[in-house]
Structure 1
Amino acid sequence: MIHDNGSSNRSGNRSFEDVLRVRMSRRSAIARGAALSATGFLAAFAGEKLLTPDSSIVGQGSGRAIAQGRSSSLMNFAALPAANSAGVMPSISADYQFDVLIPWGTPLQPGGPTYDGNPSTRPTSAQQAQQVGIGHDGMWFFPIGSGSDRGMLAINHEYGTNSHVLGKAMPGSLEDVRLSQHAHGVAVVEIAKVNGKWQVVSSNNARRIHGNTPVTFSGPAANSPLLSTPAGNPPLGTLNNCANGKTPWGTYLTCEENFNGYFGATGAWTRTEAQARYGFSAGGFGYGWHNFDPRFDLSNPSYTHEENRFGWVVEIDPMNASQVPVKRTALGRFKHENAELVVGQGGRAVVYMGDDERFDYIYKFVSDSNWRSLIARGISPLDQGKLYVAKFNDNGTGNWIELSIDNPALKAKFANQAEILTYTRIAADTVGATPMDRPEWIAAAPNGDVYCTLTNNTQRREANAPNPLAPNPFGHIIKWRDSNNHVGTTFTWDIFVLAQNTHRIDQSAFGSPDGLWADPDGRLFIQTDGTQPVVNGVQLNDQMLVADPTTGEIRRIFAGVTGCEVTGITVTPDRRTMFVNLQHPGDGDPNLTSFPAEPGSGRIPRDATIVITKKNGGVIGS
């Protein structure tokens, strides 16, 4: 994904680093006094030999050290060695195989306009609106029928730089801007297994949802003047669609992340407190849309509040191409990474969400009542409920703080609940939430544990024994368990693994954890985006690994290509086919890779979906 490398959180709230230092120093003392008991935080002793002389501690999972050769009942595949994890084409475990599906420019319908990466031609904006976009990220497979060989694939298109999409540094016309806008958003395509190979098939429900698609709002902020503009223009589009979620009622949730980067200012503009907190600037990320499309010009008074229309979770029906995408305001507005929906106590819908920026927060939404009951009454379970933000305590406990106008601290600062939801970050600052190191994907395991990837934080300045890097370029994964089956307001937490501590073992070395999914058997799939370690002289590419939380073992299963991110994960119902994405291969530079075209072809590299199967036909990850 494209990252906003700054930090807009100036709240001064106590950092997670400080909480972690106190927490782990206490755990260290307890662990030493208990002769390294199984519940001790072993990763806190980074650099010390805690196992046999022939073993090295490299991480922690449920209090267990990850050691070379540790047996796992969940994983019976050969790990991909580091030596095979860097190159211009993907690589995979010897027990698995892969195919390539729907690269950027694939037509939504067979026979439609196609783009094949030829650097001398580009699709028009009208053609791009009929094609799979760029920046493949989160996705989900929605089966058609009872089998696992046909379904709708809803896939996010997070971003594509001007040089990649347009072939030049800046747009020169509104047509250029439209092409870029239509490369963003979401694609819904029907795919089927034909003669043993997955491909796009004709569908009445295939569609593109991009930067100019009509959308609507629902929930407490839907009719707020903060979502209206003086121009009276209708709400359009979804942008920077990062990760995702899916609902038990069969819909897709796409999450708007770094939306601030598409806005800029052509004239004099005074940045408001809220705009500063969300990272808006006169130049944005350099897309230049504001030079030709007034919707994205922060200095144009006719479009005041247009920026507030982005930063939401958007619900899409993959089986109904006529449905207008709905932005669910009850889930709050921030840089959403994903939306992990679980069914909690009483059948309530619970949505866990991370705000992907340094020193920002982890959130949870809980519906007011049973989701089936709400739907039966014609109410979306995502429109009525409570939004919370997490506060981590030193003793391994935590609290979910409700972001409600009934809170005196918030009532003194905000006019109403709609304003709290529109400026959620500021509300979270106000109630003293714990700033985290770039919260990204959140995954709920079948045993009730919830995991969150904290990709990295290069702005960390203070080192300590259990978290010894300052700055921390490799990140870590935390886990917690809520009270009352996901709907309670307290939780207990611990560290699952520090990525730095995996680097001593070839099969498990990784950095910058990002994508995350827990399968029904309890396996944890970890995908990476960013700085990877050098192992045995090999600079690793971004990758996907599988972890067994019970034993703590981690094994690499797949590695991407030079300059890419490995992201997005979904499976068929039988779990014998997995789809993952390679985003921005070669960072769009054909001198680094031409994937998915053959090396040396001169084709522009194109984001694509990877179809993974096990050679013996088994469950992916086994």
Structure 2
Amino acid sequence: MWLLRTGVVVGLGITSWRGRSSTHERVIELSHDDIENIGSNTSTNPHIDQIVATRYSRRSLMVGGTATAAVLFYGGSQVLASGAAASGAGRRGPRIGFTPVPTSSADALTVPEEYTAQVLIPWGTPLFAGTEWQKDASNTAADQEKQVGFNHDGIFYYPLEDGAAGSRHGLLVLNHEYTDANQIYTAEQGSAITPDAAGREKVAKALAGHGVTVVEVSQNADGTWSEVIDSPYNRRITGVTPVQFTGPVTLDHPALASRNAPMGTLNNCGSGPTPWGTYLTCEENWNGYFGTADTTWAPTASQRRYGVSAAGFGYSWHVAEPRFDVALNPNELHRFGWIVEIDPMDPHSKPMKRTALGRIKHESAAVTESRGKAVVYSGDDENLDYAYKFVSARPWKEARARGLSPLDEGTLYVAKFEADGTGTWLPLVHGVGPLTAANGFADQADVLIRTREAADAVGATPMHRPEWISVDELTSEVYLTLTNGSGYTQGRGATEPNPAVNSERNPNPYGHVLKWREKDRDHTALTFEWDIFVLAGDPVYDEKANGLTGDNIFGSPDGIWLDPDGRLWIQTDISNSSQNLASRGYDNIGNNQMLVANPRTREIRRFLVGPRGCEITGVHTTPDQRTMFVNVQHPGESTTHWNTQFGTPSTTNPRTVSNWPQFDPAGRPRSATVVIRRKDGGVIGS
């Protein structure tokens, strides 16, 4: 644990600025996020841009001098001002009371002057005695299985005590999305995977860095927080942890027959707590771990729809581990892409892959309830993919009382948006509409294994990378981040029916946030009304973002969370091939950040800026809202702008982009959780 200098800037590094040099005007390599921008959807379903363009071209009403969402998308203000989805008219909403921080390109974590920040549980923190982290990355796979995982993502806090004490003592449960070979391996090991024991050890260490960490934490007398070593709750769930499949797709299904035992969860991105006290973790870019050297292999249509390729994302795990060779072990693919339920209070429980919620690249799991039933919203994070919700078959309390999971029986729906501002939830149920045996869907299990193809068939609305979803429990409104659509035209041709789509917001490099309200505020309803809440961007490059200023300019919204008072926290994930680059329109926006919005007044302020190369992702507070936990993922990852100045990170020197948070000249950057508190002990954000 390190308590860093507080105030305006935490963990300040050396800043270098070269301005808008011509060296930025070049072809930029694909990053982890750019792969998601390409997309694999070749359906002809009308895209959200076409629907937006049609809707907004019909409306030009101005309210209070501010353009409504009807015109903002193609030339108005940045925030929804009126309409069916604009709740809370006449109400002030939650107070936002801090001094906004400026944008930054420093290798530092910046918080408001009224706040303090502390680094907690960085990658490699031991959960058990005897597994200290080694700054040269020489820890083994066996060590990593007993340490905090790599690349922190979704996070939630679970109190271990009742009342006020619960806000000082609890469990942090957090996801670990992926590993970076330049940081997790030593200089001697290098980054290449080899078909021998050394290669198998490297794959094993990467698998041990994935998954979920459960760690007991407590607040000290001075207000700082510490992890508890050797807690009976401490646990790692990794890429090799035994798992169970429940719901319509069980292990006796032929599509799940693999060469190895059912194990592991991978690319764990967003997450969500359930009303019954468990944790849902989402498997996102699982397809990238698979590949093959077999030159005769070609993907099936279903594999192509899920982005499976011979090269994968370049991890090359298949070289050392046949489990990930898609030619030798193709059904292992079907064991990933699920939402996984974990009981953090039972360290001996087995993770459950809840197949009724569908198989996609789940970015998040927002759980709420209506009519007593559990409702789970989720986005499929790839360009041109969809937003989903699951509604349990019976009230969740009834299911639990009968010893059943509320998530094993119910209906999965996919969203279709209309140009009149309405939308419909289309059921993905075998025998309904085109989802029949005659059309190639054998049964409900087949529908769920091939969720994307089922959604294509029923006519769902393709979107700009639908990511995190959050529900305002005060108003029942739902918010969805659409990170960006930089690769929107990929695979769809150039003949969109509305020319404004191509000329105005295609590609869409900055993203936006959608907002909808289910009919009668009932999350089990089959229809809803929608609008755009905020259009991200930089007015210098994009006049359609002309409502944003220095206090709230941002791009590529990703993580999103509504706190108990109704504040909307927005986190950004600008691709490292765009971050800080003038040629991508991101130089003024700087490093990734977190902002907070008042959904009623539409005020937005920047609350936090992260170090270089990072993503800001995952946010939650203690029940008293006086301690906030935020994750800083992949600081120091290869970032085009900084690579051109300082060199590309490697196992020999992983510090070229960032060395946050320790700034050890012989160390390396580390993902970490940041603990944020007000200096006066007040409610975060107020």
Decide: shared fold, TM above 0.5: yes
Cα distance change on mapping 1:444 and 1:73 into 2, 3 Å? closer
Alpha-carbon distance between aligned partners in 1 of 2:502 and 2:599, rounded to the nearest angstrom: 20
Residue equivalent to 1:197: 224
Residue equivalent to 2:80: 60
Cα distance change on mapping 1:40 and 1:193 into 2, 3 Å? closer
Which of the numbers 23, 29, 32 marks the counterpart of 1:2? 32
Query: How far does residue 621 in structure 1 lie from its aligned partner after superposition?
Result: 1.3
Query: How far does residue 38 in structure 1 lie from its aligned partner after superposition?
Result: 8.2
SS in 2 for 1:20: helix
Aligned positions of 1:125-524 closer than 5 A: 125-146=141-162, 147-167=166-186, 168-172=190-194, 173-195=199-221, 196-201=223-228, 202-229=230-257, 231=259, 233-267=260-294, 268-300=296-328, 303-344=329-370, 346-411=371-436, 412=438, 413-446=440-473, 447-460=475-488, 464=500, 468-484=504-520, 485-500=522-537, 501=545, 504-524=548-568
In structure 2, give the amino acid aligned to 1:78. T
Alpha-carbon distance between aligned partners in 1 of 2:224 and 2:586, rounded to the nearest angstrom: 36
Cα distance change on mapping 1:250 and 1:62 into 2, 3 Å? farther
**For the Cα contact (< 8 Å) 2:388–2:415, is it kept in 1?**
yes
Query: How far does residue 208 in structure 1 lie from its aligned partner after superposition?
Result: 0.6
In structure 1, give the amino acid aligned to 2:52. L
Residue equivalent to 1:112: 130
Alpha-carbon distance between aligned partners in 2 of 1:72 and 1:226, rounded to the nearest angstrom: 52
CA offset digits 1:346-393 (Å, max 9, x no partner): 200000000000000000000011100010011100001000000001
**For the Cα contact (< 8 Å) 1:105–1:115, is it kept in 2?**
yes
Residue equivalent to 1:591: 656
Alpha-carbon distance between aligned partners in 1 of 2:396 and 2:286, rounded to the nearest angstrom: 30
**For the Cα contact (< 8 Å) 1:62–1:496, is it kept in 2?**
no
Alpha-carbon distance between aligned partners in 2 of 1:174 and 1:140, rounded to the nearest angstrom: 32
In structure 2, give the amino acid aligned to 1:416. D
SS in 2 for 1:270: coil
Cα distance change on mapping 1:222 and 1:602 into 2, 3 Å? same
Residue equivalent to 1:51: none
Cα distance change on mapping 1:18 and 1:192 into 2, 3 Å? same
**For the Cα contact (< 8 Å) 2:579–2:613, is it kept in 1?**
no
Q: Please, which moves more after superposition, 269-278 or 322-331?
A: 269-278
Query: How far does residue 269 in structure 1 lie from its aligned partner after superposition?
Result: 1.5
1:94 pairs with 2:113:
yes
**For the Cα contact (< 8 Å) 1:61–1:549, is it kept in 2?**
no
Alpha-carbon distance between aligned partners in 2 of 1:406 and 1:537, rounded to the nearest angstrom: 51
Query: How far does residue 579 in structure 1 lie from its aligned partner after superposition?
Result: 0.4
Q: Please, which moves more after superposition, 346-355 or 407-416?
A: 407-416
**For the Cα contact (< 8 Å) 2:591–2:613, is it kept in 1?**
yes
Alpha-carbon distance between aligned partners in 1 of 2:567 and 2:624, rounded to the nearest angstrom: 15
TM-score w.r.t. structure 2 length?
A: 0.83
**For the Cα contact (< 8 Å) 1:207–1:321, is it kept in 2?**
yes
1:124 pairs with 2:140:
yes
Identity fraction in percent: 48
TM-score w.r.t. structure 1 length?
A: 0.91
- How many residues in Structure 1 have an aligned counterpart in Structure 2? 596
SS in 2 for 1:360: coil
**For the Cα contact (< 8 Å) 1:137–1:155, is it kept in 2?**
yes
Q: Please, which moves more after superposition, 38-47 or 335-344?
A: 38-47
Query: How far does residue 139 in structure 1 lie from its aligned partner after superposition?
Result: 1.1
**For the Cα contact (< 8 Å) 2:79–2:532, is it kept in 1?**
no
Cα distance change on mapping 1:225 and 1:536 into 2, 3 Å? closer
Alpha-carbon distance between aligned partners in 2 of 1:175 and 1:37, rounded to the nearest angstrom: 59
SS in 1 for 2:384: strand
Residue equivalent to 1:546: 596
Query: How far does residue 266 in structure 1 lie from its aligned partner after superposition?
Result: 2.7
Residue equivalent to 1:612: 676
Cα distance change on mapping 1:532 and 1:379 into 2, 3 Å? same
Alpha-carbon distance between aligned partners in 2 of 1:621 and 1:61, rounded to the nearest angstrom: 23
Unaligned 5+ segments in structure 2 are 1-30, 87-91, 490-495, 538-544, 638-648
Cα distance change on mapping 1:328 and 1:465 into 2, 3 Å? closer
Query: How far does residue 169 in structure 1 lie from its aligned partner after superposition?
Result: 2.6
Query: How far does residue 42 in structure 1 lie from its aligned partner after superposition?
Result: 5.3
Cα distance change on mapping 1:502 and 1:142 into 2, 3 Å? farther
Which of the numbers 543, 565, 570 marks the counterpart of 1:526? 570
In structure 1, give the amino acid aligned to 2:150. I
Alpha-carbon distance between aligned partners in 1 of 2:326 and 2:288, rounded to the nearest angstrom: 12
Q: Please, which moves more after superposition, 505-514 or 452-461?
A: 452-461
Query: How far does residue 468 in structure 1 lie from its aligned partner after superposition?
Result: 3.0
Query: How far does residue 184 in structure 1 lie from its aligned partner after superposition?
Result: 0.7
CA offset digits 1:281-324 (Å, max 9, x no partner): 11111111111111101111xx3311100000000000111000
Query: How far does residue 601 in structure 1 lie from its aligned partner after superposition?
Result: 2.1
Alpha-carbon distance between aligned partners in 1 of 2:235 and 2:74, rounded to the nearest angstrom: 52
**For the Cα contact (< 8 Å) 2:558–2:570, is it kept in 1?**
yes
SS in 2 for 1:170: coil
Residue equivalent to 1:50: none
In structure 2, give the amino acid aligned to 1:269. W
Query: How far does residue 609 in structure 1 lie from its aligned partner after superposition?
Result: 0.4
In structure 2, give the amino acid aligned to 1:468. E
User: What is the CA RMSD across the aligned residues, in angstroms?
Assistant: 2.3
SS in 1 for 2:500: coil
**For the Cα contact (< 8 Å) 2:57–2:70, is it kept in 1?**
no
Cα distance change on mapping 1:415 and 1:560 into 2, 3 Å? same
SS in 2 for 1:280: coil
In structure 2, give the amino acid aligned to 1:161. D
Query: How far does residue 483 in structure 1 lie from its aligned partner after superposition?
Result: 1.7
Residue equivalent to 1:15: 47
Residue equivalent to 1:75: 96
**For the Cα contact (< 8 Å) 1:389–1:400, is it kept in 2?**
yes
Cα distance change on mapping 1:324 and 1:521 into 2, 3 Å? same
Cα distance change on mapping 1:539 and 1:496 into 2, 3 Å? closer
**For the Cα contact (< 8 Å) 1:356–1:438, is it kept in 2?**
yes
Residue equivalent to 2:21: none
SS in 2 for 1:281: coil
In structure 2, give the amino acid aligned to 1:143. P
Query: How far does residue 482 in structure 1 lie from its aligned partner after superposition?
Result: 1.0
